[in-house]
Amino acid sequence: MRNKYMTVEPISVLVEDINVAYHEKVVLHNATFELKPGCIAALVGPNGGGKSTLFKAIMGFLTPHRGRVVIKDLPIRKAQQKQIVAYVPQSEEVDWNFPVSVEDVVMMGRYGHMNWLRIPSAEDHRIVRETLERVGMYSLRRRQIGELSGGQRKRVFLARALAQQGTVMLLDEPFTGVDANTEKEIIELLITLRAQGHTILISTHDLGSISTFCDQVVFINRTILAYGSVEDVFTDDNLAMTFGGVLHHRSFYNNKESKI
């Protein structure tokens, strides 16, 4: 039987010179960066800057017109086949009226581990139960997903990603619409996942918390403007370049409530 919370071999993510377009219109240009194995990286940029588009390209949902995404020395399709990358989408991308329960959603994270009949094994059920307990949603497992609060919805999709047991985790704005306690709990969970070897990319508008739990920052606005360690690149100059000169990160340290 597998260890309850598995340790994984940390792996890197390389995004190399990708262009991504919707209907021929390029929205992400020549984007390049690398995530170090076993780090938490914040993806920071303005609304419409291309964060969700980048996640979809890394997931293989959108195919770059040029460039490549390499995960553990594998092209993205192979990495997806091996269930290496798990994704927590923005809440707006989910149809909350869909008649599925919390438990059903988390079980979807196991689909890639099942055969084509998709009959869950005892291990699948065990993993779903454990991940629901881990995010504090086990007692609500039978509830329809539309009957959850914003913070509970985030937890369910986090549980789905955990159930998938991907080594790389992509989280698109997990803090939007959640209260301070839930944000703290999600950060603690991410820190634990990093200690277990996971590589994590998280888009966030909460600049004030980045230096408390992230190792790397990736600045994005239609391209990657800068990336590297928090110490080296989380600077006023890079914030100004990314947001057009209107933000200074010291103001976020002083006012933790501020969000872009």
Ligand X SMILES: Nc1ncnc2c1ncn2[C@@H]1O[C@H](COP(=O)(O)OP(=O)(O)OP(=O)(O)O)[C@@H](O)[C@H]1O
Name the site residues for ligand X (rule: CB under 6 A): 22, 27, 45, 47-53
Asked if residues 84 and 167 have their Cβ atoms less than 8 Å apart, the reply is: yes
Rounded least distance, CB 56 to ligand X, Å:
8
Rounded least distance, CB 65 to ligand X, Å:
14
Structure tokens at 30: 């020549």
Query: Measured from the CB atom, is 219 or 234 closer to ligand X?
Result: 219
Query: Measured from the CB atom, is 48 or 244 closer to ligand X?
Result: 48
Query: Measured from the CB atom, is 38 or 49 closer to ligand X?
Result: 49
Cα gap 86→79, rounded to integer Å? 11
Query: Measured from the CB atom, is 48 or 245 closer to ligand X?
Result: 48
Task: Cite the DSSP H helix spans in the chain.
Answer: 51-59, 76-81, 102-108, 122-134, 150-164, 180-195, 207-213, 230-233, 236-243, 249-254
Query: Measured from the CB atom, is 62 or 158 closer to ligand X?
Result: 62
CA angle 178, 61, 196 (to 5 degrees): 55
Rounded least distance, CB 50 to ligand X, Å:
4
Cα gap 209→213, rounded to integer Å? 7
Rounded least distance, CB 209 to ligand X, Å:
17
Rounded least distance, CB 220 to ligand X, Å:
7
Q: Which of 98, 14, 106 is nearest to 64 (CA)?
A: 14
